[in-house]
Chain A
C-alpha cells in the first residue's frame, strides 16, 4: 500500500506541503516511510480501553466546570445553558433541552432594516401582542377584541387572517369582524361569566403569526452578514421559509437535527455542542474523546443517551447493567427469563475477580476444530 492509502488525508497533505519542491523522489519515499512508521506507532493499540480513557478525560476536567448557568457577553439578553448542566443534557440525550436556540442564516445579504423586519416575521406572535385590549361585555355576554393596526402592519398580517384563526380555534363561539374589532358571541345560550373569563385568557395566548416555537429573535452581525439568533427552535418550519439559507442554518438540539437532517448530522451536532462548552470553559479535552462518545450515542440510527434507558439498557451482559443503575430490577428480570452472561466485558469480570479482557488480558488461546 502506498503512504497515501495508509495515512489520513490531513497528515499526508500537511507533509506534502512541508517537503521542499526540489526534494528527490527517493528522499520523499524515505520521508513517507518514516511518516508511516511514526503514524502506525501513534495508532491506538488493539485492546486499549478507549471508552474508559474517554470517560476519564472528560470526567476529570468537567469537575472543575462552573456549575452555574451565566450570561454570555456578546449575546445580549439571551440566557443559554452552559457548563456542566449543558453537557449532562446532551449526553443524557434529552428530548427537550432547556434552552433551545437557532442560528438562522439568510440566502441573500441584507441591510439592518430588512433583517429586523424578517426577524419580526419569524417570531411567534400570540394574540396578546397584537391587540389594544380585550374586554368582556357583561351586558351582551360577549368578548370584544380590539386589534392594534400598527403592530399588525409591522409583521404583515391582516385582520382577516386573525379573524379566521380565532374562529378556527374556538368553534362554540361566533366570531365577527368589524373594522379592527372582533366580537365573539357564544352560539349556545346560558354561558356564564366564568367561561367568558376563561375564553379571554385562552385567546390571549392564541398563536396567530410567525413560526411556532420561536420565542425571541435577535439579529446579530457576524463578519459581513446578518444572522438571526433565536430562543426556541423549529428547524422544520424555518427551513420552509423562502429567505432562509437551508445549508447553514442550525439549532442546538441534536434530537431536532436528527429528525430533520438525519443521524449523521446529529452526531456532528453532539460533537460540536459538547466541544463548544468545553472551549467556553477554557478546558483542554481532545475532540477524539467527544467523537467516540457521540458515535456510541448514534450507532443505532437514533440518539440514545448515556443513561439506563439508553446506551446502558442495550448492553448484552446482565452484570454490566446491574453495575450501572437499579440493580435489583435487572437481576429480577434477568432471572425471570433466564439470561446468560458471556462475561465478555470489563465490569462483570471485575465483579468475579477475573482478568478483564482489555489490553494484555484480551488475547485468548483458541483451538482449531478439525
Chain B
C-alpha cells in the first residue's frame, strides 16, 4: 500500500521538472547522443520526485533543470528497480 504523502515533492524549489519519455523520444535521445541505454545515468524507481509518474524500470525520465549558468539544462535518467 502506498502511504499518502503530506507534501508534494514536485512543488519544492529544489526539485526540477521530471517527465516520462515516450518510446519514440527515448530512441531519438539515444541516437542523438550516440549512446546505449545502459550508459544513461540512473534514477531509482522509488525516487520521491517521480512517484506521480507511474514509471517502470527501463523508462527514461527527462529532467529540466534550471540553473544560474544556462537557465535551463536538460538531463536524462533511466529508471532502475
Contacts and interface: CB of A to CB of B under 8 A. Distances in A.
A300 B8 CA distance: 23
Contacts of B47: 262-263, 301
Nearest to A235: B7
A257 interface: yes
Given A10-B71, A247-B13, A250-B14, A261 B48 contact: yes
Contacts of A11: 70
Interface residues of A, number: 30
Contact of A262 (B49, B65, B71, B80): B49
A9 interface: yes
Contacts of B55: none
13 contacts: A239-B6, A239-B7, A260-B9, A262-B49, A262-B50, A264-B63, A265-B14, A265-B15, A268-B65, A287-B67, A301-B43, A301-B44, A302-B44
Interface of B: 6-9, 11-16, 18, 41-44, 47-50, 63, 65, 67-73, 77, 80
Given A257-B14, A269-B14, A246 B8 contact: yes
A240 interface: yes
Interface in A155-171: none
**Chain B interface main SS type:** mixed
Contacts of A97: none
Contact of B65 (A13, A261, A264): A264
Given A247-B13, A248-B13, A261-B14, A299 B41 contact: yes
A189 interface: no
A302 B44 CA distance: 8
A302 B42 CA distance: 9
Of all A-B residue pairs in the complex, the 3 with the closest CB atoms, nearest first, are A262-B49, A246-B7, A8-B70
Contacts of B15: 261-262, 264-265
B43 A268 contact: no
A327 interface: no
A270 to B, nearest CB: 11
Nearest to A9: B71
A131 interface: no
A329 interface: no
A93 to B, nearest CB: 16
A257 B16 CA distance: 13
A9 B9 contact: no
Interface string A6-17: 001111010000
B16 to A, nearest CB: 5
A240 B6 CA distance: 5
A288 interface: yes
A287 B69 contact: yes
Given A8-B70, A8-B71, A247-B13, A261 B49 contact: yes
A3 B51 CA distance: 36
Contacts of A262: 9, 15, 43, 47-50
A85 interface: no
Nearest to B49: A262
Interface in A223-259: 239-240, 246-248, 250, 257, 259
A125 to B, nearest CB: 22
